[in-house]
Amino acid sequence: MGDAGVTHHLLGVAGSYPMLLALWLLPLAGAVICWTYGPQLRAIAGWLVSALVGASFVLALLSWHDGTQNVAGAAGANQPLFSWMPGFDFGLLLDPLSLLWTFIITGVGFLIVFYSIGYMQGDRAFARFFAYMSFFVFAMLTLVLSDNFIGLLVGWGLVGLASYFLIGFWFERPSAVAAARKAFVINVVGDVGVMFAIFVIIAHVHSSAFGDTFAAAGTLSAAVILTICVALFIGAAAKSAQVPLHTWLPDAMEGPTPVSALIHAATMVTAGVYLIARCAPLWNASREAQLLVGTVGGVTALLGAILGTAQWDIKRILAYSTMSQIGYMIMGVGVGAYEAGVAQFFTHAFFKAQLFLGAGLVIHALSDEQDIRRMGGLWKKMPFAFWVMLTGVLSISGVPGFSGFFSKDEVIYGALAHGHPWLDAIGIVTAGITAYYMFRLLFVAFLGEYRGEAPVHTGGAGSWIMNVPVAILVVPSVAIGGALLFGGDASPWAHFFAPLFAAQAHLAASQTPAPAISENLTSVIVMMVVAIGFVIAWQRYATATAQRNAVERLRVETEKMPAVLTNLFYFDAAIDAIFVRPSQALGRFFGHVFDPRVLDGAVREIVLTAGWLGTLVRSFQTGLLRAYALILVFGAACFIAYYAIAGAAH
């Protein structure tokens, strides 16, 4: 495998890149320091981790040249580190794709960690929180910077662990512990999928490096590629909350709000998108895998949006919208529109982090109230939070000019351009529902009269710590889409990803016929559907009649909610019935029947037999010396008699 004579295919330009190494390890240092000296650091922990993650971001910016270099077809930088065994080397790879993820992880991560200094103020385990956050950033960087599948799996498992830590951060709450466990178990299902894919890859390619695998993609049979893709997609679906492995994501909102923003919206849940975009050469080689992933993505987008319309918890609405938006991303990368799916990830990271942090401002001000029915009228009391949420909602709904508009359009049109008109239709419908439930959230929480009992605490010392990161996030979530994505194939975005995806785009374009309607027409249709969603939300929640008896109307809406929506399409019940309860029954059978009756029974029988034999033999053990002598003589007499008789027989 690693023998001389076998050439290895590297994805990047091999060399020494100390900045890359440093930006990878700084967050780990932060985690170790906070874990070790947490009680002594106290309030400094937040500033320390912010500084380290911020430094990582600066290093990522400085690595721009390394990440975008393109020498003889090798895009990006490859820093070899060490070898596990001959043929299995570990190194860091910084190419346009991982560079983009690194920007989001460290950049948005820095803003969210900084925001947490204010949000987590006064929490008993302040330093522990920042240790986990820093550890998460390190784990996520490991995932996206690894140049081989095994390193990716290591990062993949570690982000799941960090997510488990942070969902269960307030471990005094039983619901948080249950949610953390659920997230971990479902994520492990995905880990097993990725692991299986790696086994298949190693068996056929004899290497775990991305470069070797992609170079060999053309020589593998279609069945092998499909197996690898499906196994990888099980991992991607579990991590990125795709149907039917999505049920952990809404429950994961038990964690602190900055965690929801960083892990369960901006970065970790998009690991599946990264995986598929990274393995684009594999997916390009299997039309069936593309169809599967695209369909699951589309279905997830639609179901997430529908479920979002039935929620009252502000964070759960955002969780379902995250699920729906990741559905878009998966649909994009699934059908082969990689640039579009990744663009959706990029803009989503900003506006969804902004929405979560804005929701965090509200939750913080209302003493942990999360039910939008007990909010209302907040635009007067918290104008800053209102403007933040408004711009976020406009962006996620795809209002023209905002970032979400460009990326969502690219995904929806991408589905059509790659020959999937049905997914295109699902995308358009979902866009309308998205507009409806996001404006519903905004109207119910911020318009009308205040309906809650909790007093609204705004301002106060340190509130700038929370406001500044949110204000910074507003800028990209409004403008970055237009700046980077405008212009189609001539946009800076397309230019950035040209070394990675251009060849595949041409390949796909040559295979599928030109779509019947143009990209501009699609945009217009999406705009109209979004407008319809907005109008329905306005009619139901924002008009003067709707405002007048809002409490009563919301109560009636809660009562009349269809059972299928309050039961979340029965996914939890189905998983419970298909997997959980049979396993519990199996466990009960082994625990209460098989183990005590069969295993323990056999052991008990052996013990009883030994005891019975012992009692029998004990009766000879009289302790009378002369009795023993008699038995000896008797035994000797028997011997003599035997030989006498045997001798006589001769």
Partner 1 sequence: MSVPINDYVSLASVIFFIGVIGVIVRRNPLIMLMSVELMFNAANLLLIAYARLWLHNVGHIFAFIVITVAAAEAAIGLAIVVTTFRPEKYVDVDDIRRLHG
Pairwise CA distance, residues 372 & 311, whole Å = 9
Nearer to partner 1, 36 or 609 (CB): 609
Locate 290 and state its tokens: 């593309």
Omega before 27 cis (within 30°)?
no
Identity of the residue, 461 or 624, whose beta carbon is nearer to partner 1 in the bound complex: 624
Count of other CB atoms within 10 angstroms of residue 424? 26
Nearer to partner 1, 65 or 626 (CB): 626
- Nearer of residues 72 and 617 to partner 1, judged by Cβ: 617
Query: DSSP label at 244?
Result: T
- Tell me the CA end-to-end span of the chain in Å, nearest whole number: 74
Report the nearest approach of partner 1 to the CB of residue 620 (Å).
7
Q: How far apart are CA 424 and CA 403, in angstroms?
A: 20
Q: Considering the complex, state which of residue 620 and residue 639 has its C-beta at the smaller distance from partner 1.
A: 620
From the CB of 588, what's the least distance to partner 1, in Å?
44
Query: Please, what is the minimum distance in Å from the beta carbon of residue 619 to partner 1?
Result: 7
Of residues 574 and 629, the one with the C-beta less far from partner 1: 629
Most distant CA pair in the chain, distance: 125
Of 61, 108, 100, 166, the C-alpha closest to 349 is: 108
Least distance to partner 1 from the beta carbon of 624, Å?
Answer: 6
| Binder of partner 1 out of 610, 630, 638, 641 (CB under 8 A) | 630
* Token pair in block for residue 642: 């035997």
- Of the pair 510, 619, the CB lying nearest partner 1 is at 619
Give the residue with the Cβ less far from partner 1, 545 or 619: 619
Footprint of partner 1 on residues 610-629 (CB under 8 A)? Answer: 617-626, 629
Exactly one of 574, 598, 633, 638 binds partner 1 (CB under 8 A); that residue is: 633
d(CA 340, CA 602): 63
The distance of closest approach from Cβ of residue 634 to partner 1 in the complex, given in angstroms and rounded to an integer, is 10
CB 612, min distance to partner 1, A: 14
Q: What is the smallest separation between the CB atom of 614 and partner 1, expressed in angstroms?
A: 9
- In 352-432 the beta strands, taken as DSSP E runs, fall at none
Cα separation values, 506 from 226, 237, 337, 360, 467, Å: 22, 27, 11, 44, 45
C-alpha distance from residue 120 to each of 116, 127, 185, 527, 608 (Å): 5, 10, 27, 39, 62
Residue nearer to partner 1 on the CB measure, 513 or 623: 623
* Token output for 599: 């295993």
CB 300 within 8 A of CB 326: yes
Tell me whether residue 629 or residue 641 sits nearer to partner 1 (CB atom): 629
In terms of CB distance, is 401 or 614 closer to partner 1? 614
Of residues 182, 306, 172, the one with CA closest to residue 249: 182
Q: What is the 3-state secondary structure (H, E, C) of 494-549?
A: HHHHHHHHHHHHHHHHHHCCCCCCCHHHHHHHHHHHHHHHHHHHHHHHHCHHHHHC
Binding footprint of partner 1, residue count (CB under 8 A): 13
| Per CB under 8 A, 461 contacts partner 1 | no
- In angstroms, give the least distance from the CB of 623 to partner 1: 3
- Could you tell me which residues come within 8 angstroms of residue 539 by beta carbon, excluding any fewer than 6 positions away? 546
Of 392, 417, 405, 433, which Cα lies nearest the Cα of 524? Answer: 405
Give the integer Cα–Cα distance in Å for 328 and 347. 12
Least Å distance, CB 161 to partner 1, is 59
* Distance in angstroms (rounded) separating the CA atoms of residues 515 and 62: 41
The token pair that represents 452 in the structure block: 């809650």
**In whole angstroms, how close is the CB of 582 to partner 1 at the nearest point?**
53
CB 613 to partner 1: min, Å: 12
Q: Which residues bind partner 1 (CB under 8 A)?
A: 617-626, 629-630, 633
